[in-house]
A and B are shown apart, each in its own frame.
Chain A
Amino acid sequence: SQQGEEDPQALSIQEGENATMNCSYKTSINNLQWYRQNSGRGLVHLILIRSNEREKHSGRLRVTLDTSKKSSSLLITASRAADTASYFCATESKDSSYKLIFGSGTRLLVRP
């Protein structure tokens, strides 16, 4: 069974707009990671945020983590058509510091 719930399940925006995806999880974690998956391809690691961090940036990506609410958000600014993909959050729990537990993903469509 999967740990996380992602919201929304699907998101359609115009190129240039910002996209925000949310992830909730259930257990105490060491870190939370965001991955992107293009149709029919493997997962690409985007960003890792540790449990003692609240916000992290990487290029057009901004990730926040609220451990009190067991939630995280991924913001993609100035979206591009190439950002069209599925986005997954994955948590590494304190109980097992290796395996990742994935959410069900948000399918993002960026319209040109």
Chain B
Amino acid sequence: GAGVSQSPRYKVAKRGQDVALRCDPISGHVSLFWYQQALGQGPEFLTYFQNEAQLDKSGLPSDRFFAERPEGSVSTLKIQRTQQEDSAVYLCASSLARQSDTQYFGPGTRLTVL
């Protein structure tokens, strides 16, 4: 069956540009997560949605980062006025249950800010 998909797979942005990263979770999955993975490191939590409600955004690095999931399915992570330190792989994951469940990850979007 279809897994979690993300687009674009690669994005190059000039410093100061806005970017939007898309995540299509597994159909029917209630929970959706965004993580940021720097080179050579493990992923770090950014934000969590339960259906359309954003229940935790404690990991977002600054107010330039914004995420939404308006219909409880597809999610978009937006980064405004990108900076070089935003360069990373952004991973999306979804899980069937509301908590304590296996998270299934997408392939990620590699963002490079020049």
Q: Give the residue of B56, B100, B108 whose beta carbon is less than 8 angstroms from that of A42.
A: B108
Q: Does B65 contact A (CB under 8 A)?
A: no
> What total of A-B pairs shows CB separation below 8 Å?
64
Q: How far is the CA of A2 from the CA of B35 in the complex (A)?
A: 12
Whether the Cβ atoms of B43 and A102 lie closer than 8 Å is yes
Q: Which residues of chain B from 11 to 69 have a CB within 8 Å of any chain A CB?
A: 31, 33, 35, 40-45, 48, 55-56, 59
A-B contact pairs, 21 of them (CB 8 A): A2-B41, A2-B42, A4-B42, A33-B103, A42-B105, A43-B105, A44-B105, A45-B102, A45-B105, A48-B102, A88-B42, A97-B100, A98-B55, A98-B98, A99-B56, A102-B35, A102-B42, A102-B43, A104-B40, A104-B41, A105-B41
